[in-house]
Structure formats: C-alpha cells, structure tokens
C-alpha cells in the first residue's frame, strides 16, 4: 500500500508543478530484483487513486531484468534473483547493479 501511495504522491506533485488535471496512465519501471509484488501493487494503486486525479488511470509496468557484478570473475552477469550464484563461475560474491529499482517512468495526462 505504501508503494502505491508513494506513486500517487509523485503523480500529484507532478500535477502541481506542470498544471495537468487528469492522469490517464502511469508507467512504472520495476526491477526483477526489487521484491515488489506487481499484482498487489496494481490492487493497491486502484484503491489509493479513488477520488483523485489518477482515478481510473492505467498502470503500465515495464520490468527491468536483474544484473550484477561478480567480484570473483570480474564480469557483469544476468541475475535472476538476489543471492544467486554467478552463472559464469558459481561464486556468490555478486553485487546487484540493475533490477532493484522502482520508478515512475512517465505519465499520460490531460
């Protein structure tokens, strides 16, 4: 719920700054490693946007694949889940470099 409320705050702040009155769509980038439950976020977004300028807005989600830097083999590697072994060398010293984020990418407004 707090993530959906945070998205709504960003939308409302953008509306104040840019002077739009209605939001038709919100596009988010959510990383594969972010631990965000997308269906729960969709449900909460619908709930928190009732009676706001974003009521009825589409929630579009782009998934960012996980990636990491392996300290053992000094390579950037795909990382399907946190704390997984490096797919190249099998080592566990992999720092996530992508896929942990969640951000509002853009808005479709009137």
pTM of the model: 0.87
The stretch 8-25 carries a mean pLDDT of 96
Please give the domain boundaries of the chain with CATH numbers for all domains: 2-65+99-109 (3.30.2320.50)
CA separation, residue 43 to residues 1, 29, 48 (Å): 9, 17, 9
Per-residue confidence (pLDDT) for residue 96, from 0 to 100: 97
Per-residue confidence (pLDDT) for residue 107, from 0 to 100: 97
Tokens of 16: 């104040």
Under the banding of pLDDT at 50, 70 and 90, the label for residue 21 is very high
Per-residue confidence (pLDDT) for residue 53, from 0 to 100: 96
Specify which residues 94 forms β-bridges with.
70
Per-residue confidence (pLDDT) for residue 51, from 0 to 100: 97
Per-residue confidence (pLDDT) for residue 79, from 0 to 100: 96
Under the banding of pLDDT at 50, 70 and 90, the label for residue 67 is very high
The stretch 62-88 carries a mean pLDDT of 96
Under the banding of pLDDT at 50, 70 and 90, the label for residue 73 is very high
The stretch 16-38 carries a mean pLDDT of 97
Buried b (16+ CB within 10 A) or exposed e, 48-58: bbeeebbeebe
Per-residue confidence (pLDDT) for residue 29, from 0 to 100: 98
């Amino acid at each position: 719920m707090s993530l959906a409320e945070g998205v709504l705050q960003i939308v409302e702040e953008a509306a104040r700054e840019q002077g739009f009155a209605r939001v038709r769509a919100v596009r988010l980038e959510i990383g594969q490693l972010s631990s965000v439950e997308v269906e729960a976020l969709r449900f909460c977004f619908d709930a928190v946007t009732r009676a706001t300028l974003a009521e009825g807005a589409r929630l579009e989600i782009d998934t960012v694949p996980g990636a990491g830097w392996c300290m053992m083999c000094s390579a950037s590697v795909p990382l399907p889940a946190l704390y997984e072994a490096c797919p190249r060398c099998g080592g566990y010293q992999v720092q996530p470099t992508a896929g942990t984020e969640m951000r509002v990418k853009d808005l479709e407004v009137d």
